Amino acid sequence: MPTLREIFLPLSGFLIFILAWHGVAALGLYSDYLFPPPLAVAQGIVELLRGGELWDYTRTSLLRFAAGYGAAVFVAVPLGLLLGRCTLLWHALDPLIQILRPVSPIAWFPLVSLWFGIGNLPAVVIIFIAAFYPVLLSTVAAVRNVSAVYLKVAANFGASRRDVLWNVIVPAAFPQIAVGLHIAIGAAWIFLVAGEMLGVRSGLGYLIIDSRNNLRTDLVMVGIVLIGLLGLVIDRLVSFGEKWVKRQWEMP
C-alpha cells in the first residue's frame, strides 16, 4: 500500500506530534512564552506573512545559502579533481586538510567577523566553510576510486588528457561526488542559522536571535519550523538534480 506508507503514515506522524505538543501546552504547566503552543506559532506565521518579513527573510537566507554553497562547490570540485589526480600534491595537503576539517565553522566566527566585517559576507563565508570539506573530500575520494580498468582502457585507445578527465574520470566519479554534494547541503544548511547570528539584520537565523531578544518564543518556533521545511525542500531538489544529471550522463 504505497499511499498508506507514503502519505497517510507521515501525515499521522505530524498530526500526533502537533496534538501532543498542543496537549502539553494546554496543561498550562508552563507559560506561553516558555512553551509556545502550536496555535501561537501558526499565528506567528500569519503575522510574519502579513508584515512581509517571512518572504524577505526566507529569500535572503536562501540567497546567502546559494552563494556560500555555490562558491564551495565551485572551488572544491575542481580542487578535488586536481588533488585526486595528483597523488603527490594530495599527500602534501592531506594532513593539513585533516587538521582543518574537524574545526567547526563556528570556531572561525571571530576571525570571519574581523576579516569580512558585517553584512552578507560573514554568513556566506560560514556556509562556504561548512560545505567545502564534504565536497572536497568526497571528490578526492571519488577520483581516487575510479576503477583502474577504465583508465587502462582510456590509455589504450589513446584518449587525450582532456578526454580522460571529462569522459572517464568525471562521469566515473560522479555518483560519489554527488553523495558529497548531498551531504554538504545538509551540513551547510545547519550552519545557515549560525552564520546569520553574526552581523546581519535579516534572514531566518536573525529571526530566531531577534525573536529571542524580544521574548517572542512563538516566532523562534516559526524560524525553526521554516528552516526545517526549507531544508527538506532543498534536499529533495538536490535529489532531483542528481537524477537529472545522471540521465544526462546516461547513467542507470
Partner 1 sequence: MNGRETAKIRLDGVGKRFRAKGDGETALSRVDLEIAAGELICLVGPSGCGKTTLINLLAGFERPSEGILEIDGRAVTGPDPDHIMIFQDYGLFPWKTVLNNVLFGLRARGVPKAEAREKALDALELVGLRVAADRHPHELSGGMKQRVAIARALAVEPSVLFMDEPFAALDAFTRIHLQDELLRIWKEKRTTIVFVTHDLDEAIYLGQRVVLMAPYPGRIQRILHIRLPEPRERTGEDFARIRRELFEEFHLVHKQAQDVSEYSI
The stretch among 136-144, 158-166, 215-223, 229-237 that binds partner 1 (CB under 8 A) is 158-166
What gap in Å lies between CA 34 and CA 39, rounded to an integer? 14
Closer of 160 and 214 to partner 1 (Cβ): 160
Please select the residue that binds partner 1; options are 27, 31, 157, 213, rule is CB under 8 A.
157
Please select the residue that binds partner 1; options are 24, 111, 155, 229, rule is CB under 8 A.
155
Q: Which of 8, 12, 126, 110 is nearest to 61 (CA)?
A: 126
The stretch among 4-12, 101-109, 150-158, 229-237 that binds partner 1 (CB under 8 A) is 150-158
Provide the minimum distance between the beta carbon of 127 and partner 1 in the complex, in angstroms, as a whole number.
31
Provide the minimum distance between the beta carbon of 229 and partner 1 in the complex, in angstroms, as a whole number.
34
152 near partner 1, judged by CB under 8 A: yes
Q: Which residues have a Cβ under 8 Å from the Cβ of 132 and sit 6 or more positions away? A: 72, 75, 76, 184
Closer of 5 and 161 to partner 1 (Cβ): 161
Please select the residue that binds partner 1; options are 4, 96, 99, 149, rule is CB under 8 A.
149
158 near partner 1, judged by CB under 8 A: yes
68 within 8 A of 123, measured Cβ to Cβ: yes
Binding mask 163-202 for partner 1 (x = CB under 8 A): x---xx--xx-x----------------------------
244 near partner 1, judged by CB under 8 A: no
- According to DSSP H, which parts of the chain are helical? 2-3, 9-26, 38-51, 53-85, 87-100, 109-116, 120-144, 148-156, 161-163, 170-195, 204-213, 217-248
Range 96-127 burial, b when 16+ CB lie within 10 A, else e: eeeeeeeeebbebbeebbeebeeebbbbbbbb
Closer of 98 and 160 to partner 1 (Cβ): 160
Looking at residue 249, the DSSP 8-state letter turns out to be: T
What gap in Å lies between CA 60 and CA 204, rounded to an integer? 8
Residue 165, class by beta-carbon neighbours within 10 Å (0-12 exposed, 13-18 middle, 19+ buried)? middle
251 near partner 1, judged by CB under 8 A: yes
Provide the minimum distance between the beta carbon of 241 and partner 1 in the complex, in angstroms, as a whole number.
17
Closer of 69 and 174 to partner 1 (Cβ): 174
Looking at residue 146, the DSSP 8-state letter turns out to be: S
143 near partner 1, judged by CB under 8 A: no
Q: Which residues have a Cβ under 8 Å from the Cβ of 105 and sit 6 or more positions away? A: 126, 127, 129, 130, 191, 194, 195
154 near partner 1, judged by CB under 8 A: yes
Residue 94 is placed in which grid cell? 592531506
Please select the residue that binds partner 1; options are 67, 159, 165, 190, rule is CB under 8 A.
159
* Contacting residues toward partner 1, per CB under 8 A: 149-150, 152-160, 163, 167-168, 171-172, 174, 249-252
